[in-house]
Structure 1
Amino acid sequence: MKVKIYKLIAVALTSAAWPAVALAQESVLVDTAIPDSFNRDRNVSVTERSRPDFDPLGFVSGAFTFFPQMQAGVGLSDNVFLTRGDKRSDGYAYFAPAVTMTSDLPRDEIRASARAVLGRWFTYDNRNQNTFDLRLLGRKDIGDAYSVTGEAQYARIYEQPNSGAIDPSTAVLSAFNRSYFAVRGRYAFGRVQATLGVDRTAFTFDDLVLANGTPINQDSRDQVQQRLTAELQYAVSPSLSVYGQVGGSKVEYSTLLFNVDNRDSKGLRVVGGVNFDLAGLMRGKLGAGYIKRDYDSPLYKDADGVSVEGQVEFFPTPLTTVGVAVARTLRDTNLALNTGAFFDNSVTARVDHELLVNLLLGATGEYRRQVYLGTPTRADYYRAGGTATYMANRFVVLRGELGWQRRTVNDNPNSRFSEFRGELSITFRR
């Protein structure tokens, strides 16, 4: 989802059906340890639906199909630096080339994508952003029951203002490089599916310069996260499965924070739930469990609590899809010396409607509550937005977006902000 933060810097790679919005920034998160697999092809959402007269054709070369695209856009924001006072308005423009590759192999799978966004603000040069995202995934099927998937990603990213890890006015200027490597083995036979995955994610943060010219070194945020996760699913019926998942993690920081102990820690997460795909009604995944983080240093209090994950899509009509997602996760923060973690509670809703076969309307709302452990600090984040996507033909797509976001902090008025933005873009694809 996209946050106000002048999303001018992160283009979303177009799918084979239609292009996604280009301006979304990412927070310091790692991808899901084991990707959701509730889709059983019993429902098709508005954004997934094939449109033969408007879908891009791509270029076929042997067993591979390439989908190139070029996106350009302009936008406006009424609060460039996401500050409470002294709001500054500005416009921006961006240029975003991208390409995806998919395989058409009888059994195995290879997918790859590359994207870049070159963003320039008209007045405030220190908000200019250049980002990229490279991804490669390969799956090898071994017999009828076994498969092994390898995945690698490397990206340069700008933070979201709702990440909760640092102050929003700093987050909009914060860039980092992220590398991600994962290997997953899967066994599926009859009603049973078992998955074991291991992954490693490394973050390297750039130094930044605040709007007032103050430099900030972010070496203390450089970190490596490693996880080992196992999941077992049992199909109660073709439409419904139950699952259990357990995962261990380790986080290591490379540099001291304010010359005090690092937030190195070990974690445990246990969750169970159901995933389902009921034809003509809904599909999704709902789970709950327990999460714990133990810090190596006594300076930080160990944290534990309830973990929640959920994503459900409803299909009231063939032309409308309604999605709701909920989550409760435990994350690290650099906002205070006396706390190492906070609980991030979020609920997001989205509606997509096909007004015409080539005109899609979308609306999104989000609420996020961040609770910083060991302190009275509580932050609330709100976001609302709407989009209109018009496919002139299979080669040209026009998109308009309006968005608003707001964040409040109960004990720090200076960290509060609100922003309104608008954007228009055009995408050329093959």
Structure 2
Amino acid sequence: MRLLMCSAAMACIALTVPQAVQAQDLGSNFKRDKNVSVRQRPRPDYEAAGQKAGGFTLYPRITVDAEYNDNIYAEVTGKDDDTIWRVKPELAVRSDWSRHALGLFAGGNLIRYSNNGSEDAEEYTVSANGRLDIARGSNITGSAQTQNLVEPRTSPDAPTAAGKPVKYDLNQGSIVLTKEFNRLRVTGRVEDKDFNYKDVPQSDGTDTVDQDFRDRNELYYGGKAEYAVGPDTAVYLSATGNKKDYDTNVVASDRSSDGYVVGVGANFDVSELVRGDVQVGYMKQTYDNFGEIDGLNAVGRVEWFPTQLTTVGVNGSRTIEESTAADSQGYISNNIGASIDHELMRNVLVSAAYSHGKDNYKGVDRDDKRDNFSATATYLLNRRVGLFLTYNYLKQDSSGAQAGASFKDNKLIASVALQF
């Protein structure tokens, strides 16, 4: 499908970033397409036609957002509000080949504040991915991506003393090998991420807020073995290792570590009502200059289809994340959430989502709690024009002797998207 409804935080007509479409899987025990969610449902009259160019199709798109934010600096008192304008041009390119696949993507985000020019910023993304079909049920996919991004003020890692938003470069690539043997499917994956953060001036302009201690490389490697107990259910074993190397030479800031996650899980699409993927296991991260973090790992999402016009989802996760808090090597992030999408008409949709998160920092006395609610109304005029209205509420409470920022933030975003 070439027209998807984005999340409430990024309401727009979204041509999917080129993805390596799976090879032909007729008769596969691992197909999970019995149910189709509201967001996945094809809408031929509202999908971009694209522009043909030999064996490729080009999908240009531009989105314009107007956002009102009542707390642009994520402060507990003395809030500043502003109107924020965003212009996001994008170009997706996909191959039209019968075998193998190649996709390219380039996009930008021009951000301008009406009354607070110090928050102005630009972002961009350039990526490529492809799939090499070896045999039926066997393929190799690869991707590479470079991004220049801006860290939101509401991020738990954003420095409160910064006079400008933190900018950073993220370069990443991955290779995935998949082989299917009737009821058994084996997947191996290697992924590399490189982060480079930029220093920012302090809010009073007297000095800079150093961000070099956050620069790092993250390498992930692992595999997954799935066994289909039936045409609609599979159980699996998963193991992923990682190595995180920080560039800093300051011992107190060096959070270099090695870790792994092992788990068992199941994916299913067992009836016309429910599908999902749930995994539980054990995680451990060992730091060169800090102690260990370990415990229960979990990640999952289940979708319920009460009618063809309504999709209800629940999700949750428990993971180990990187920290920027002094003397803390990291934190355990616990998250639960729910969402609902309803199709009022073929071209009119409404969505709502709620999530609750709790971060337990290690090595310091700090706990963060977050509640996030969003609601979006989508109106697709035709295959070229879409209108969106989104409300987003975020509340963060940080407690403890080394507490971070506590704040409430309300956003109202109106968007218009054009695709061709």
Q: Give, in angstroms, the shift of residue 168 of structure 1.
A: 6.3
Q: Give, in angstroms, the shift of residue 98 of structure 1.
A: 0.7
Q: Which residue of 1 aligns with 2:293?
A: 303
Tell me the alpha carbon deviations over residues 42-61 of structure 1, each in whole angstroms, 9 at most, x when there is no partner: 11111111112222111122
1:336 aligns with 2:332: no
Q: Give, in angstroms, the shift of residue 162 of structure 1.
A: 5.8
- Structure 1, gaps ≥5 residues long: 1-14, 26-34
Tell me the alpha carbon deviations over residues 108-161 of structure 1, each in whole angstroms, 9 at most, x when there is no partner: 122222211101001111211211112211110112242111111111122245
Decide whether the 8 Å contact of 1:244 with 1:271 is kept in 2. yes
Moved more, 243-252 or 16-25: 16-25
Structure-to-structure mapping, 1:105-124, within 5 angstroms: 105-124=97-116
Q: Which residue of 2 aligns with 1:197?
A: 189
* Residue identity matched to 1:308: A
| Length-normalised TM-score, structure 2 | 0.90
Moved more, 248-257 or 194-203: 248-257
Structure-to-structure mapping, 1:219-238, within 5 angstroms: 219-238=212-231
1:62 to 44, 54, 61: 54
What is the percentage of aligned positions where both structures have the same residue? 28
1:250 aligns with 2:240: no
SS in 2 for 1:173: coil
Decide whether the 8 Å contact of 2:45 with 2:383 is kept in 1. yes
* Residue identity matched to 1:270: V
Q: Which residue of 2 aligns with 1:138?
A: 130
Q: Which residue of 1 aligns with 2:177?
A: 185
1:347 aligns with 2:339: no
Q: Distance in 2 between matches of 1:183 and 1:265?
A: 22
* Residue identity matched to 1:330: I
Q: Distance in 1 between matches of 2:302 and 2:404?
A: 36
- Measured on the aligned residues, the alpha-carbon RMSD in Å equals 2.3
1:149 aligns with 2:138: no
2:256 to 254, 264, 267: 264
SS in 2 for 1:383: strand
2:397 to 404, 408, 413: 408
Q: Which residue of 2 aligns with 1:377?
A: 366
Tell me the alpha carbon deviations over residues 51-96 of structure 1, each in whole angstroms, 9 at most, x when there is no partner: 1222211112233222111111211111010011110011111111
CA distance 1:39–1:364, shift in 2 (3 Å): farther
* Residue identity matched to 1:41: D
SS in 2 for 1:65: strand
Q: Distance in 2 between matches of 1:38 and 1:370?
A: 35
Q: Distance in 1 between matches of 2:119 and 2:77?
A: 18
Tell me the alpha carbon deviations over residues 170-212 of structure 1, each in whole angstroms, 9 at most, x when there is no partner: 5981221101111111111201100111111000001123443
Tell me the alpha carbon deviations over residues 274-296 of structure 1, each in whole angstroms, 9 at most, x when there is no partner: 00113421221100101111111
Q: Give, in angstroms, the shift of residue 406 of structure 1.
A: 0.7
Q: Distance in 2 between matches of 1:390 and 1:211?
A: 41
Decide whether the 8 Å contact of 2:141 with 2:176 is kept in 1. yes
The size of the alignment, in residue pairs, is 403
Decide whether the 8 Å contact of 2:164 with 2:203 is kept in 1. no
Moved more, 106-115 or 64-73: 106-115
* Residue identity matched to 1:324: V
Q: Distance in 1 between matches of 2:10 and 2:388?
A: 14
CA distance 1:170–1:369, shift in 2 (3 Å): farther
Decide whether the 8 Å contact of 1:160 with 1:171 is kept in 2. no
| Length-normalised TM-score, structure 1 | 0.88
Q: Which residue of 2 aligns with 1:10?
A: none
Q: Distance in 1 between matches of 2:89 and 2:329?
A: 39
Q: Which residue of 2 aligns with 1:429?
A: 419
Q: Distance in 2 between matches of 1:170 and 1:329?
A: 28
Q: Distance in 1 between matches of 2:100 and 2:64?
A: 35
1:363 aligns with 2:352: yes
SS in 2 for 1:126: helix
Decide whether the 8 Å contact of 1:358 with 1:390 is kept in 2. yes
